[in-house]
Amino acid sequence: MASPLSETMHGHVARFALVRYGLAVLCVTASVAVALWVRPFVLAAGQLSLVAIVIVGWVCGLRPALLACGLATLAFAYFFTPPLDSLAVDLAEAPRFMMFAVLGLLMATMSAARRSAEDSLRRAGEELESRVRERTADLEQSNDRLRDREAKLEQAQRIAHVGYWDRDLETDRVEWSSETYRILGLAPQARELTPATLWQLIHPEDRPSVAAAMAEVRAGGPRYEAEYRVLRPGGEVRTVHSHADMVNDGSGRRRRMFGIVHDITDRKRAEEALRESDEQWRAVFENSPVMYFMVDAKGTILSVNPIGADQLGYTIAELVGRCVLDVFYDADRAAVQQHVADCFSQLGRASSWELRKVRKDGTLILVRETARVMRRTGRDPVALIVCEDITERRRAEEALHGARAELAHVTRVTTLDQLASSIAHEVNQPLAAIVADANACLNWLAVAHPDLDQVRETLAAIVSDGHRAAEVIQRIRQLATKTEPRKGRLDINDVVRDVLLVVRSELRHHGVSLAVDLAPALPAVFGDRVQLQQVILNLVMNGIEAMTGVGDRPRQLTIRSRPAESDQVTVAVDDTGVGIDASHVDRLFNAFFTTKPSGMGMGLSISRSIIEAHGGRLWAAGNTPHGAIFHFCLPVADTTRRTDHPTNVG
């Protein structure tokens, strides 16, 4: 075995051919020089060249060794074979020379061959070692990947609540995964889990079905499958689903069962909750007193509850599959189509509308429908429509509106009755002036040469007084006449002035001074003139009555109008009367609440209903230092509104 030094030397020398051959020459020269030095003493010293051949063959390889062998043979023949210093060889020395030559050639070949064999062996060892290292690294990587896959499989089993088991049918030994232990409520690998142990964990009521499934497989069935409950050691009950495939050996005989155990408790609970929810929904759908319809995007009725079919006079079978438009009044069908289309364009958003439906017998009913489109997994969305028959309610509302309008009319007439003497005075004044002026004109015309300019001026006064009396009578007639309420664009200041024509004498009769502060160029409001006159008249009369007992301060009634924020107009009526008791503020606008001995308690309640029906608000507050202020605000008229739209009070 070569030393590390020789291997290193050989490694460096063998890289360059010139160096190898030069070393061969140098070694032979050195050996010949040493042999010549000792030749006078020992002629056999020439055989030292064999050592040089061995060294060259070992270090430099076969070809340099053969060169060294040739040089050494020539040197041996010249310097160490008689005759000396000549290449001629005596016949007696020929065997010795031939032996040296053969021996040198043999040693060169053997030395180089051994070196080559050792090099090959070393390279083979290094290659083997390299392959072992690579194989070891591959094995470690494979082990790492295997461990990683096992960890991922374990994690996947834990997340999915799925464990596996492997049962040897001959030995009846079973291998369980860690997750299977956890599903059964056991610590992984805490104890050996045998089929007998598992059998004790199965719910007693489910053991027959599990045994039947196992018996079917043993009898040749293709697959084992069972669903059963597990009683965990702590008392918790879990539901699992287990199934397995058969594994055959080379001869086709069944040797093993490989299967999984899936904890389906949560799924079972979700299914049960879904089933209960579905049953509750179906119970609501089928037993609700409200009509339910389910419609697709094309308007086809997919389902209807019994009350929905009964209300329209149909059976469920007669309605399902029909177009929903068939049960609507002809004039409303376009609106229905638009409403349904809007619902499907805004999924999840509820929309409501009121339209007319036609019963099977042809009668009309008014319904209020609320629809919302629902998404369905894997299927097209549908619209759920809740339908309420509001026919009777609308009739009741209309009757109530009529009653309120009648009550408002009665209240107006009652107020006018209270103003009878003042109204008579307002009418008598211009009539008396007309009579006096007419008599004066007659007297002037009776003279021979009447003053026609004076007569003309007096007749103009008569006309003016006549218009004044007619205007008062017209305002009274508006308040007293029972007409259908109609809204239009109004100047609220004109409405105030209408009322003042009627109450001017009443104000004078009670010693009340009037201050009118009406803002110029107010925007128009949209309302019914008579109803708004009634509100202002009621507030003015309340203010007059509130100051009846006041004697220690002036009786002052002020009416103001102002523009307000949010496109509104505000009117305020304030007095210097007794004010509002704090305990009465919350009940002030309640029906039949009054602080007057002879009052009905309907004036303010009706006034608030009128203002709210106009989209406004009526409220009261204390006046400083005495009295009360009643405010109401109305929205500014929309220029796009029609002026002939009827509106009921209430």
Please write the tens of the pLDDT for every residue from 359-418.
889 888 888 888 888 887 778 888 888 888 888 777 776 665 655 555 555 555 555 555
Instruction: Give the pLDDT confidence score for residue 643 in this predicted structure.
Output: 40
Per-residue pLDDT reduced to its tens digit, 121-150: 888 888 888 888 888 888 888 888 888 887
Question: Which of 305-314, 375-384, 519-528, 598-607 ranks highest by mean pLDDT?
Answer: 519-528
**Helix, strand, coil percent values for the chain (each to nearest 5):** 55, 20, 25
Instruction: Specify the pairing of strand 525-527 against strand 488-490.
Output: antiparallel
Q: Are 451 and 423 in contact (CB under 8 A)?
A: no
Give the model's confidence band at 483: pLDDT under 50 very low, under 70 low, under 90 confident, else very high: low
Give the model's confidence band at 14: pLDDT under 50 very low, under 70 low, under 90 confident, else very high: very low
Per-residue pLDDT reduced to its tens digit, 16-38: 778 888 888 888 888 888 878 87
Instruction: Give the pLDDT confidence score for residue 633 in this predicted structure.
Output: 93
DSSP 22-80: HHHHHHHHHHHHHHHHHTTT-GGGGGHHHHHHHHHHHHH-HHHHHHHHHHHHHHHHHHS
Distance CA 282, CA 274 (A): 12
Q: Is the pLDDT confidence value at 455 over 50?
A: yes
Instruction: Give the pLDDT confidence score for residue 258 in this predicted structure.
Output: 86
Instruction: Give the pLDDT confidence score for residue 636 in this predicted structure.
Output: 92
DSSP 527-571: E-HHHHHHHHHHHHHHHHHHTTT--SS--EEEEEEEEETTTEEEE
Give the model's confidence band at 593: pLDDT under 50 very low, under 70 low, under 90 confident, else very high: very low
- What's the average model confidence in pLDDT over 464-486? 59
- What's the average model confidence in pLDDT over 562-579? 89
Distance CA 76, CA 84 (A): 9
Q: Is the pLDDT confidence value at 260 over 90?
A: no
Distance CA 223, CA 494 (A): 95
Instruction: Give the pLDDT confidence score for residue 644 in this predicted structure.
Output: 41
Distance CA 259, CA 190 (A): 21
Question: Cβ atoms within 10 A of the Cβ of 419, count?
Answer: 21
Distance CA 153, CA 145 (A): 12
Instruction: Give the pLDDT confidence score for residue 478 in this predicted structure.
Output: 54
More confident residue, 22 or 598: 22
Question: Cβ atoms within 10 A of the Cβ of 519, count?
Answer: 14
Instruction: Give the pLDDT confidence score for residue 413 in this predicted structure.
Output: 56
Q: Is the pLDDT confidence value at 7 over 70?
A: no
More confident residue, 517 or 603: 517
Distance CA 586, CA 584 (A): 6
Question: Which of 408-417, 474-483, 551-560 ranks highest by mean pLDDT?
Answer: 551-560
Question: Which of 161-165, 333-337, 445-449, 469-473 ranks highest by mean pLDDT?
Answer: 333-337
- What's the average model confidence in pLDDT over 177-198? 79
Report the Cα–Cα distance between both ends of the chain, in Å, rounded.
Answer: 123
Query: 3-state SS string over 485-505?
Result: CECEEECHHHHHHHHHHHHHH
Distance CA 568, CA 351 (A): 29
Question: What tokens were used for 220?
Answer: 């040749």
Q: Is the pLDDT confidence value at 448 over 80?
A: no
Least-confidence region, from 50-59, 207-216, 271-280, 456-465? 456-465
Instruction: Specify the pairing of strand 556-564 against strand 513-518.
Output: parallel
Distance CA 51, CA 62 (A): 15
DSSP state of 177: -
Distance CA 244, CA 254 (A): 13
Q: Are 178 and 167 in contact (CB under 8 A)?
A: no
- What's the average model confidence in pLDDT over 589-610? 62
Torsion angle in degrees (nearest 10) through CA of 443, 449, 453, 455: 20
Q: Are 308 and 289 in contact (CB under 8 A)?
A: no
Give the model's confidence band at 562: pLDDT under 50 very low, under 70 low, under 90 confident, else very high: very high
Q: Which domains does the chain have, with CATH numbers?
A: 4-124 (no CATH), 161-270 (3.30.450.20), 288-389 (3.30.450.20), 404-635 (3.30.565.10)
Instruction: Give the pLDDT confidence score for residue 525 in this predicted structure.
Output: 93
Distance CA 354, CA 365 (A): 11
SS3 447: coil
Q: Is the pLDDT confidence value at 303 over 60?
A: yes
Per-residue pLDDT reduced to its tens digit, 66-77: 888 888 888 877
Question: Cβ atoms within 10 A of the Cβ of 313, count?
Answer: 14
Distance CA 81, CA 86 (A): 8
Instruction: Give the pLDDT confidence score for residue 642 in this predicted structure.
Output: 43
What is the average pLDDT score of the chain? 78
Instruction: Give the pLDDT confidence score for residue 503 in this predicted structure.
Output: 78
* 550-584 as b/e: b if 16+ CB within 10 A: beeeebbbbbbbeeeeeebbbbbbbbbbbbbeeee
Q: Is the pLDDT confidence value at 153 over 80?
A: no
- What's the average model confidence in pLDDT over 451-459? 74
Question: What tokens were used for 157?
Answer: 């089993």
Give the model's confidence band at 647: pLDDT under 50 very low, under 70 low, under 90 confident, else very high: very low
Give the model's confidence band at 572: pLDDT under 50 very low, under 70 low, under 90 confident, else very high: very high
Q: Are 431 and 465 in contact (CB under 8 A)?
A: yes
SS3 375: strand
More confident residue, 234 or 501: 234
Give the model's confidence band at 517: pLDDT under 50 very low, under 70 low, under 90 confident, else very high: very high
Instruction: Give the pLDDT confidence score for residue 162 in this predicted structure.
Output: 86
Per-residue pLDDT reduced to its tens digit, 345-361: 888 788 888 888 898 89
Reference 528, options 481, 562, 565; nearest CA is 481
Total number of residues shown for the chain? 650
CA atoms within 13 A on the CB side of 502: 26
Question: What tokens were used for 164?
Answer: 């596996």
E-strand spans in 309-432? 351-358, 364-376, 379-389
Reference 69, options 106, 95, 44, 33; nearest CA is 106
Q: Are 319 and 337 in contact (CB under 8 A)?
A: no
pTM given for the model: 0.40
Return the sign of the alpha-carbon dihedral for residues 427, 429, 431, 434. Answer: negative
CA distances for 123 relative to 127, 228, 574, angstroms:
6, 65, 120
Q: Are 116 and 57 in contact (CB under 8 A)?
A: no
Instruction: Give the pLDDT confidence score for residue 559 in this predicted structure.
Output: 93
Looking at the chain, the whole-number percentage of residues with pLDDT higher than 70 is 80
Q: Is the pLDDT confidence value at 152 over 70?
A: yes
DSSP state of 273: H
- What's the average model confidence in pLDDT over 8-23? 66
